[in-house]
């Protein structure tokens, strides 16, 4: 009977610990989602496109043309 009571209390404790850990995880995820939503929607964090040519094309156009002719090596 003592073993059965100990087993029951172990199950109860494990359930409580599991519940608390899950609640903490859910609260952290909610805070992370709130921060992500803020950074996604806040105007000061939006990407502003700079007018002009892209940097890659200005640096190595021959390399990019060769890659576009060859195709992707990963697709082969």
Convert the pLDDT of each residue in 38-48 to its tens digit.
888 887 777 66
Tokens of residue 36, six digits: 């992500």
Q: How far is CA 27 from CA 16, 19, 22, 32, 69, in A?
A: 17, 12, 9, 9, 50
pLDDT of residue 76: 45
User: Is residue 71 a contact partner of residue 65, using CB atoms and an 8 Å limit?
Assistant: no
pTM of the entire structure?
A: 0.49
Question: Which has more confidence, 48 or 4?
Answer: 4
Residues in Cβ contact with 39 at an 8 Å cutoff, skipping those fewer than 6 apart:
45
> Is residue 22 scored above 70 in pLDDT?
yes
Neighbours of 75 (CB within 10 A): 5
Q: Write the pLDDT tens digit of every residue in 46-57.
A: 766 656 655 554
């Amino acid at each position: 009977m003592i073993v059965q009571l100990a087993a029951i209390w172990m199950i109860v404790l494990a359930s409580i610990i599991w519940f608390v850990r899950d609640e903490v995880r859910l609260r952290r995820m909610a805070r992370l989602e709130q921060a992500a939503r803020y950074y996604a929607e806040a105007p000061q964090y939006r990407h502003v496109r700079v007018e002009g040519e892209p940097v890659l094309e200005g640096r190595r156009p021959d390399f990019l043309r060769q890659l576009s002719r060859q195709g992707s090596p990963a697709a082969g």
